[in-house]
Structure 1
Amino acid sequence: MFKKKIFHYAKEFLFVILFMSIIANILSLYKSQELNQEPLQIKSFKLIDNSNYNIDSSKPFIIHFWATWCPTCKLEASNIELLSKYYNVVTIAVNSGSDYEIHSYLKERDLDFEVVNDTNSELSKIFKIQAYPTTFIYDKNQNLVFSEVGYTSTFGLFLRMWWVDFLK
C-alpha cells in the first residue's frame, strides 16, 4: 500500500513538472515574438574590463541578457558559465551598476564569462528586451536561430547550440 502511494505521488509530481515545463515554454515562445529577429549587425562589444570582444563569424554565437538584481538570472548564471567554456558567449548586464560592481558580483559567484555593461539599456532597446534573462543564439552567418525568454537549463542550451552547430 505504501509503495502504491509513493508511486502515485511520484507520478503526480512528474505530471506537474511536465505541465509547468510546457507552460513555461509556451510563455517563452509568446514573449520571444517581440524580440529583434534580424540578423546580428553588431561586430564587437566593449567589455567591462575595457577590452573589445570581436564576434567570430565562423562559429555560432550566444548573446545573453541578464541583470544582477534578477533572481532567475542568478539561477541561470552557472548554465551560462558552463556554456561559455565551449561556445562563443557574450553576456549583457542591464542596469546592474558600475563595471566594478558587476565585476565584484561575478567574482563573488566565481563566474568569468564575458560581460558588457548596458548601463543605459541601449543594447536592450536594440534587441527589444522586455524580460530577463533573455538569450539569443545565432548561427555562423549571424542569423537568429533561437531566442529564449526566461530560465533555460544547461541541457537545453547545449542542445540548441548542438542543433545550430551541427545541423545548420
Structure 2
Amino acid sequence: MKWIVKHKARLLRWSRDLLIGASIIYAITLWQGRHLLDDDGTVVVDNVHLATLNNDVQPLFVSDKRTLVYFFAPWCAICELSIGNLDHLSDPELRVVRVALDYQSQNEVEDFVNRSNVKGVVLLGSNQLKQKFKVPGYPTYYLLNEQQQVVGHSFGYSSAMGLKLKNYLNK
C-alpha cells in the first residue's frame, strides 16, 4: 500500500499515457478501415470457389464455421511479417483463409509462401474479389460469421494477440 501512495503520481502518468496511446491506436485503426466493408452484420458476402496452390478448388467459406479471410500480396513486407500470426488462432469454430491478390504469377505466391513458412491453405484471388471486398491495401482481414455476414474487419499489421482478441470479441 505504501508503494502505491509513494508512486501515485507516476502511476497516474502511466495510466494517462496508456489511455492516450490506446486512443491514438484506436483512432488510426478506425481511419484505416474507413473504406472497408461495413462490419455490423449488414453485408452478406456470396461464396466463391478459388484455386489453391495445389490446383485444387476450395470454397472461400464453409457454412458451419466463422471465417477469417486474410488478403495479402506476395510483395507486401507487412504481410510477410504478419501472416505467421494467423497460425496462433486455435479456435476449432474458426476457419482461417489466406487469399493472395495482386500477384504476377503463381510462382511469386509460392515463393512468398515458402519464404514466410505459411502453414495453411492459400487461395488465389482475383481483381474481382479484391473489388468485391474493397481491399484498399495489404494485409486486409475480414471476419465473417456462419451466415457469411461481415462482423469484423481490419487493415494493416495485426499481432497474434490482437487477432486472438478480435476473434474473441466477435464471437
Instruction: Tell me if TM exceeds 0.5.
Output: yes
Asked if the contact 2:52–2:58 (Cα under 8 Å) also holds between the matched residues in 1, the reply is yes
Confirm whether residue 47 of structure 1 aligns to residue 48 of structure 2: no
Identical-residue share of aligned pairs (%): 23
Aligned to 1:121: 127
Q: TM-score, normalising length from structure 1?
A: 0.77
Alignment of 1:12-161 (within 5 A): 19-37=20-38, 38-54=43-59, 55-83=61-89, 86=92, 87-118=94-125, 120-161=126-167
- What amino acid does structure 2 have at the position aligned with 1:106? V
Residue-by-residue CA offset, 1:65-95 (whole Å, 9 max, x unaligned): 1112212111111112333785311112121
1:73–1:19: structure 2 CA closer, same or farther, 3 Å change rule? farther
How large is the Cα RMSD of the aligned pairs?
A: 2.9
Q: TM-score, normalised by structure 2?
A: 0.75
Larger Rg: 2
Contact kept? 1:90, 1:114, Cα under 8 Å: yes
Tell whether the 8 Å contact from 1:36 to 1:126 is kept in structure 2 after alignment. Answer: no
Q: 1:108 and 1:70, CA in 2 relative to 1: closer, same or farther beyond 3 A? A: closer
Please say if residues 73 and 101 of structure 2, whose CA atoms lie closer than 8 Å, have aligned partners that are also in contact: yes
Contact conserved, 1:60 with 1:164, CA < 8 A, in 2? no
CA contact (8 A) 1:64 1:89 kept: yes
Q: Which amino acid aligns with 2:81?
A: L
Taking the aligned partners of 1:88 and 1:52, their CA distance within structure 2 comes to 16
Greater displacement, 26-35 / 122-131: 26-35
Query: Which residue type is aligned with residue 31 of structure 1?
Result: Q
Q: Distance in 1 between matches of 2:29 and 2:148?
A: 22
Cα 1:43–1:84 shift into 2, 3 Å: farther
Instruction: Work out whether residues 67 and 145 of structure 2, in 8 Å CA contact, stay in contact via their aligned partners in 1.
Output: yes
Shift of 1:146: 0.7
Instruction: Determine which structure has the larger helix proportion and give its number.
Output: 1
More displaced stretch, 22-31 vs 145-154: 22-31
Structure 1 residues 33 and 110, CA, compared in 2 at 3 Å: closer, same or farther? same
Q: Which sections of structure 2, spanning at least 5 residues, go unmatched? A: 1-11
How far 1:133 moved relative to its partner?
Answer: 0.9
